[in-house]
Structure 1
């Protein structure tokens, strides 16, 4: 019998494309998704193109991973589980702590509890982990040692010093972070992702389930939510450009991220779920290239063929990291996969899609106001 795949959170940006990839390979798919308004609008059947894209592709169960009944129904016949369901957003996680922990940690615990205490057919489980579990990630000292610095100090950033420092060292250089790095997340979101990963990697082998953890970097591309103010700067900045509004560049604009295109993420996840060599593995999923915020703005201006005013404000958010670069050696060597889409190609495709979408309201500013009111945005 062909595999039957359960994708939790499968009506989202990654899950909808992944569902199609599984179906194309001859597998059947069930999606469990809470269809939250922040992503899907108030009436998902009419306001969510992502949900509609699953018509004829997958069975969709409107439910939540925090409900044992919903999980029990969704697990029926499943042989592979891809656990994408999670509350996302570093900033929001710092003040909606209970919601993030309940959904991300509690939902994962319920999923594993059902499998541990009942007969099941699941043989492989993939957890969507995150680069956020690394905190500031890996750096190299002047004498060549690899170190993992602590979180940046509020006092330093308030004084305009946004670089990463380590006591007793001079200048340190950011390098790609591999899967052996020290884990020390700097946000509630990162903590919950570390706990999700740890639960699945620890419990899975005891219940006959091969665990695989994918530490996603900054995923982007067509289909990304333009409504959700916590989905990343490409969506946020695109909306501001279309509205003709100023872009506020936080810190000094030299902070960087590893942007990885949606199609590459889907293929890496498919391989993690289906390749025997992936069993028990932990893999970074990224491009391995650092892109600064200034680079992002320039790429979007070029793709849109227009500009808006920009301001390097020196604002910063507590919990944010300075840099992010993935070492993708394990993904290449164990699964034979190398991301294929460059940032310039990906941004061009993303902007072409954005042009076809309605201009969304300014929920981003509301999210910043919420953070500022809690002293998390300076």
Structure 2
């Protein structure tokens, strides 16, 4: 049976990695992307996008662009990747993040109804973010679960990085209550709520994945908001000591791009349509200081240094449990952080383009 898949933000980092999987599964795949200069300096179709994928340049916030892309087909599946992603940037450009992430999502839904009301997609897959959790759940000395909320400006200025007498717990979409600490995180949670309510009302299956920190070959090397792994690699390659914020014990789950692409593909094909989002990570909690050490050793660069700086909106601990995701999607991550970092660094050394 002939089926079509539409991918918003399909020419980006994740979209390109996902494209060969989709092209092998669907009879037609269309990537819809505005080629934002923060990610695409040449404003050209990226070479990494599978040649079997059709490309349409357009903006998810523009109704006319939506009508243009949907004029000759009704997608069976939509994968919604398009988003503004900078945690710190979102605090300075809140309107931009809200416009793309929230209004862009509602424009998509309106366009699907406007253009093909009798042929809505079977499912819509959303790549959400671990940023929706904020600081998440912590445990006190008595074993009680508490939500300390966002670290205050005064707390950070005192270099009080953790919450006293509390231990951070990994995120889990079944048990952790979302409480974003950034505009970006708030817009991603809004996307989840908008998509879920729309889909359930109109008989479309919503599939949501909360991604941890994605990295790997193909990541933009000019966009300072796409992640610290490529930023650290560029510094160490130049022989610099990597500056590490706070006290270096910021925890993240760094998940390799191929594992993320495989998780999205599995959710696209196999998800049972649960309204609970899937947590997608490596399942391995890594401190930022540990990450800096791995990269510094690879390049034989000077040891990292702690600079005591901080960013408002950053959370202290961010990792997740992935057991439910592994079981339901029949998926598991294959590349852990040290191997993945080495693959990324080799890609950069081999002449990766920005």
TM over 0.5: yes
1:136 aligned partner: 135
TM-score relative to the length of structure 2: 0.94
1:44 aligned partner: 43
Measured against aligned partners, the alpha-carbon deviations of 1:170-206 in whole angstroms (never above 9, x if no partner) come to x111121110311110011011101011100111121
Offset of residue 125 of structure 1: 0.2
1:99 aligned to 66, 88, 96, which one? 96
SS in structure 1 of the partner of residue 60 of structure 2:
coil
1:172 pairs with 2:166: yes
Q: Is the Cα–Cα contact under 8 Å of residues 6 and 74 in structure 1 kept in the other structure?
A: no
Offset of residue 209 of structure 1: 1.2
Structure 1 stretches of 4+ moved >6 Å: none
TM-score relative to the length of structure 1: 0.88
Between 131-140 and 117-126, the greater mean CA deviation after superposition = 117-126
1:314 aligned to 303, 308, 319, which one? 308
Q: Is the Cα–Cα contact under 8 Å of residues 164 and 322 in structure 1 kept in the other structure?
A: no
**Structure 1: 5+ residue runs without aligned partners?**
166-170, 361-378
2:179 aligned to 184, 194, 216, which one? 184
CA distance in 2, matches of 1:101, 1:357: 35
CA distance in 1, matches of 2:352, 2:259: 26
SS in structure 1 of the partner of residue 92 of structure 2:
coil
**CA distance 1:278–1:345, change in 2 (3 Å):** farther
**CA distance 1:317–1:94, change in 2 (3 Å):** same
CA distance in 1, matches of 2:146, 2:302: 39
2:320 aligned to 317, 326, 336, which one? 326
1:109 aligned partner: 106
SS in structure 1 of the partner of residue 184 of structure 2:
helix
CA distance in 1, matches of 2:2, 2:91: 42
Measured against aligned partners, the alpha-carbon deviations of 1:322-350 in whole angstroms (never above 9, x if no partner) come to 01111112202222222121111111111
1:373 aligned partner: none
Measured against aligned partners, the alpha-carbon deviations of 1:247-295 in whole angstroms (never above 9, x if no partner) come to 2211001111011111111111011111152453411101122100111
SS in structure 1 of the partner of residue 78 of structure 2:
strand
SS in structure 2 of the partner of residue 152 of structure 1:
coil
Offset of residue 30 of structure 1: 0.2
